[in-house]
């Protein structure tokens, strides 16, 4: 795909909108369920990156810098990359407000402008689902990571498949939406294996769609419902999004 065609993809145009950038965190992490999602994401990220005091971390698709700020607060030397200057403006302001030192740079996840194995760890949240060439993104993350990558994706074995198909159909007839894609575990494993990485651990968040839980708006109800589904063994099979930590297994 040529560069102009790539830049016309919704994953670029949508996040270039200043209004989208300003309202991003409120839409995704606002309200009781949004807060629950943010807390879960922060906890899983901390578990998967491990001890990062003094280590170098690249946050690919950093957006408003939420993950970058969490990593920097734990002592990492963080660089955040995003294609949207509008999102980076918000990220830089958040870092300035908290007096946090993070190097934010405009860049493309499909072609990271860093040398091989430049960072101890590379993380990327809610990115490959929107990427026009997702395998290239994974290959680039693995290329610039010394030994570990952490990223997430919506599972094809989950309710996200229905929403993904609906959004793609709506987009095909001119509707304004984000027609993300879902992934099978086999696809993800194969893409990592091509870069000599293999999955060490995974975490699945919800069985039911996040939109369903947001419509209920109750942390207590969400915890009770999802806890019951997990006890039935459904989370292990149908949970989404899936966060993975993968490590290099070959030079």
Q: What is residue 19's predicted lDDT score, i.e. its pLDDT? A: 87
Sign of CA dihedral 194, 197, 201, 203: negative
135 contacts: CB under 8 Å, gap ≥ 6: 191, 194
Q: What is residue 250's predicted lDDT score, i.e. its pLDDT? A: 76
Q: What is residue 202's predicted lDDT score, i.e. its pLDDT? A: 98
Domains in the chain, ordered, with CATH?
A: 3-248 (3.40.50.150)
CA R_g for the chain:
18
Helix residue spans in 50-184 (DSSP H): 66-73, 85-97, 134-144, 160-172
pTM, full prediction: 0.92
Q: What is residue 139's predicted lDDT score, i.e. its pLDDT? A: 98
Q: What is residue 6's predicted lDDT score, i.e. its pLDDT? A: 59
Tell me which residue has tokens 């952490």: 150
In the β-sheet with 197-206, what is the strand arrangement from edge to edge?
103-106, 77-82, 56-60, 119-124, 145-153, 240-248, 197-206
Spatial distance between the Cα atoms of 23 and 227, rounded to a whole number of angstroms: 31
Q: What is residue 84's predicted lDDT score, i.e. its pLDDT? A: 94
- In order along its 251 residues, the chain shows pLDDT tens digits of 334 345 677 778 777 888 888 888 888 899 999 999 999 999 999 999 999 999 999 999 999 999 999 999 999 999 999 999 999 999 999 999 999 999 999 999 999 999 999 999 999 999 999 999 999 999 999 999 999 999 999 999 998 888 888 877 777 777 777 778 999 999 999 999 999 999 999 999 999 999 899 999 999 999 999 999 999 999 999 999 999 999 999 76
The SS3 assignment for 80 reads strand
Spatial distance between the Cα atoms of 123 and 12, rounded to a whole number of angstroms: 19
User: Residue 237: which of 180, 181, 152, 155 has the closest Cα?
Assistant: 155
Rounded to the nearest 5°, which phi and psi values hold at 96?
Answer: -65, -40
User: Residue 46: which of 67, 26, 29 has the closest Cα?
Assistant: 67
Query: Which tokens go with 121?
Result: 């760890």
């Amino acid at each position: 795909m040529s560069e102009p065609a790539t830049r016309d993809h919704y994953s670029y145009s949508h996040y270039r909108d200043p209004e989208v950038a300003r309202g991003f965190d409120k839409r995704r992490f606002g309200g009781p369920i949004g807060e629950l999602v943010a807390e879960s994401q922060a906890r899983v990220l901390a578990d998967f990156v491990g001890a990062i005091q003094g280590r170098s971390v690249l946050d690919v698709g950093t957006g408003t810098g939420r993950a970058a700020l969490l990593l920097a607060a734990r002592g990492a030397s963080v660089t955040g990359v995003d294609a949207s200057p509008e999102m980076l403006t918000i990220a830089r302001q958040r870092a300035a407000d908290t007096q946090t030192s993070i190097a934010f740079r405009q860049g493309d996840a499909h072609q990271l402008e860093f040398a091989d194995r430049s960072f101890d760890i590379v993380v990327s949240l809610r990115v490959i689902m929107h990427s026009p060439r997702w395998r290239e993104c994974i290959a680039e993350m693995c290329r610039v990571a010394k030994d570990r990558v952490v990223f997430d994706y919506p599972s094809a074995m989950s309710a996200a498949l229905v929403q993904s198909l609906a959004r793609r159909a709506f987009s095909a007839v001119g509707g304004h939406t984000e027609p993300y894609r879902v992934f099978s575990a086999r696809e993800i494993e194969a893409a990592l294996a091509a870069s000599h990485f293999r999955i060490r651990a995974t975490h699945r968040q919800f069985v039911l769609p996040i939109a369903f839980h947001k419509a209920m708006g109750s942390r207590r109800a969400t915890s009770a419902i999802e806890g019951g589904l997990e006890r039935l063994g459904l989370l292990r099979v149908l949970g989404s999004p899936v966060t993975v930590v993968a490590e290099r297994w070959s030079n």
